[in-house]
Amino acid sequence: MEDNPLFKDFDTPFGVPVFDRIENRHYLPAFEKGIELHDREIESIAGDTRSPEFENTIAALDRSGEFLDRVSNVFFGLLSANTNDEMQQIAKKVAPALSKHRDDILLNRSLFERVKAIYAKRGELDLTPEQKTLLRETYQDFVRGGADLDRDARKRLREINKRLSVLELEFREHVLKENNRFELVIENKEDLAGLPERVVAGAAKAAKDRGREGAWVFTLHKPSLIPFLQFSKRRELRRKMFEAYITKGDHNDDLDNKNILKEIIQLRIEKAELLGYRNYAGFKLARRMAKTPKNVYELLDRIWEKALPAARREAEQLQELVHKEGHDFVLEPWDWWYYAEKLRKRLYDLDENELRPYFELENVLHGVFDLANRLYGIRFVERHDLPKYNEDVRTFEVKDKDGSLLGVFYVDYFPRPSKSGGAWCGNYREEYKVGGRRIVPVVVNVGNFSMPTDDKPALLSFEEVRTLFHEFGHALHALFEDTVYKGSAENIDVDFVELPSQFMENWAAEPQVLKMYARHYKTGEPMPDALIAKIENSRHFNQGFETVEYMAACFLDMDWHMLEKPTDMDVRAFDKASMKKIGLIPQIAVRYHSTYFEHIFSGDFYAAGYYSYIWSQVLDADAFAAFKEAGLFNPEVAESFRTNVLSQGGAEDPMSLFVRFRGREPRIEPLLKRKGMLGTGK
C-alpha cells in the first residue's frame, strides 16, 4: 500500500490529516495494519521479563497503538461529519474487529497480572497525581473489561461487545437516514404564512438543490425544523413536521430502531450482570462523579420539583394566548414553539427575527475568538493551506499567549446529507507528550447551523449562538490540555466533561460580551442597549419548558439503564410509562424519544449519563459566579480556571479540580438562580 497516505506520517503543517488524499479504499488496510502493530506492542509489554513497573507497563500501554489511534481518529471523525454509504459499510466491518482487538487487550491474563501487581503496590510508589490516576483507571479498564471473569464469562462478554459495536452503528445510521429522508414539500405559497423571509429563502434553496425549483422544502434538520415550528401559521403543517421529528426510527420499516435498541438494552443488562452489577446504570455510574443512580435521581428530582411547576405556569400562559386569538383547541407540543415566540414578543417586545441580523456567523465566531483572547491571551489565525475534508470547513492555527503553538482548530458549521444531526466537538489528534515534547491537539467543532442564502450571510438564532459557544468550550478544554499521557484525555468523567462547554454558554448573553460580537450584518453597528436589555429581561423566559423537556430525557435514559432483567419490552409503552411516572405534562414532549436517542444508543459514552448536562450545569453556574464576583475578565480567575480545570483533562479526580478552582464544592443555588427557579417550587 505504497499509495496509502494513512501508512505514513502526515507531511502537512502541524501534521494534520491529509484529508485531500485519503480515499475510502485506504481505511480497511490501515485498520488491519494498525491492529497488527498494536497487537505486537501488547505482546511485547505482556511478555516483558522485567519486573512490572509503572513505566514499562502502564506508561507503555498508554503510548501503544499510536498508528491505530491515528487511523481511528480520522475515520470515525469523518463517519459523523462527512459520511457516505461506503464508509458506513466499512464501519460495520471495522467495529467488530476493533471490539475484538480491545477485548484481546483487556482479557490478556499476562498483561492484567502485570497491571494488577503494580496496582497492588500503588501506595509504595512515588507517582505524580496524573500517574496515580492513570494507574487507577488502567486497572479499572481491565477489571471492568472482564479480566477477572472465568473463561465462559469472558467468551460471552466478547460476544456481547462485538454485537453491541454493530448495533450502535446501525442505530446511528438509521437516524441519519431518517433525518435525510423526510421532506415537507410546499407548493402553495399561502402555506408559507407566518414564515420569515430568510426561512422561505432557505426552503426555496433547499427545493432547488433537490430538483424541485418553484417549490419550498423543509426538512428535519434543526435550521429548517425549529423556525418552521416557531413561525408557521399552518397548525396542521407544524404538526406534520413535529410528528415526523419525534417518530424517527419508529415506522416499522427498514430504518426502524425499536428492535435494535431493545437488543442493545438486553445486552447491556447481561454485560452489567456478568461484571457484578445489578444494572447498567450502576456499572456506568461507578466510574463517574455521581457514583450511584441514587445520587443522579436525587439531583434530577430536586430540580424537577422546581422546573415542572414553572413549565405548568408557562403552559397556562400559552393556552390563554390561544384562547385570546379566538381558538378553542388544547395546546399541543407542536404548538409550543409557535405560541412561546408570540408570548415572548408580547411580554418583552422581543422576537428572534429582531436578533438574527446581529448574529452573523462570522461575527459570532470571531466573538468567541476575541473572548478567548481576552480571558486567556490566545489567538486564532486562519490558515488556508491545511487539507480539509469538505469545502465548508475552515482551519485555524491557535497560538498561546506567549506566541507558541497551542493547537489546530477546525470548524464545520453547515448541515448536509453526509453529516449527523446536532453539534459536537471532536479530536483528530489529542494532546500528550513524548520525551517532554508536547504533541499539539487537532480539534474540530461541528454544527448544523442556519446557512447563508443567495442574498444574506449565515444569520444565527440565539440558540445557535449558544450552541457555538458551547462547542467552543469543549474545544478550549481540548486545546488547553497539558498532560503527559493520552489516557488523561480519555478518562474525563462524562458528568465533568460538559463543565467547560456549558461554562462558555454563560458568556453569550453577557452585555459586555454581546458588545464584542453582536453587530448588524449590514451596518456593522453593535446591538443597541435597548435590545440587549430585552435579552437580559427575558433570560428566564421559557426556562420551565427548556429544563423539563431536557430532564424528561434524563429520566428516560436512567429508566432504560436501571432495568435488571432482559424483557421483550414495548418501546412506545416504555417511553409513555417513563413520562407518566414523572408527570410530564402533555403540552411538552420529551426531547428525545428512544428510537432516535443517539446520545445513549449510538454509543455508550452517555448511556446512563444524559443527566451529565444538568450535573455539569451545577458546576458551570457556580464556576461562572466566580467570574461575576471578581469581574468578568479578571485575569487571575481566568488563569486559575485554565490551570486547575481546563488544562488537566482527566489527570485527577474532577471534584478535586473544581475545589482547587472554587475553594469549595459546588452549590446548586447559582443554577436555580440562573433559571429563575430559586425559591420556587410546587
CB count, 10 Å around CB of 223?
22
Amino acid at residue number 352: E
Distance CA 397, CA 440 (A): 11
Residue 360, classed as helix, strand or coil, is strand
Q: What is the Cβ-side half-sphere exposure of residue 210, based on CA atoms within 13 angstroms?
A: 21
> Which string of b and e fits 299-324 if b means at least 16 CB within 10 Å?
bbeebbebbbbbbbebbeebbebbee
Give yes or no for a contact between 586 and 318, defined as CB atoms under 8 angstroms apart: no
φ/ψ (deg, to 5) at 394: -125, 150
Query: In this structure, what DSSP letter does residue 451 have?
Result: P
Residues 6+ apart with CB under 8 A from 435: none
Query: Per the structure block, which three cell numbers stand in for 166?
Result: 454493530
Distance CA 73, CA 483 (A): 19
Mode of pairing for the β-strands spanning 442-446 and 405-412: parallel
Distance CA 295, CA 495 (A): 12
Q: Which residue has the cell 433525518?
A: 179
Q: What is the Cβ-side half-sphere exposure of residue 659, based on CA atoms within 13 angstroms?
A: 7
Angstrom CA distances, 451 to 205, 426, 525, stand at 10, 22, 22
Distance CA 446, CA 395 (A): 12
Q: Which of 471, 498, 505, 549 is catalytic?
A: 471
Burial of 610 (C-beta count, 10 Å sphere; 0-12/13-18/19+): buried
Q: Is 471 a catalytic residue?
A: yes
Q: What is the 3-state secondary structure (H, E, C) of 85-112?
A: HHHHHHHHHHHHHHHHHHHHHHCCHHHH
Give yes or no for a contact between 475 and 121, defined as CB atoms under 8 angstroms apart: no
Query: Per the structure block, which three cell numbers stand in for 660?
Result: 482547587
Give yes or no for a contact between 487 and 436, defined as CB atoms under 8 angstroms apart: no
Q: How many residues does the chain have?
A: 682
Angstrom CA distances, 184 to 181, 187, 215, 256, 260, stand at 10, 10, 10, 20, 27
Residue 640, classed as helix, strand or coil, is helix
Give yes or no for a contact between 610 and 554, defined as CB atoms under 8 angstroms apart: yes
Distance CA 198, CA 211 (A): 20
Catalytic site positions: 471
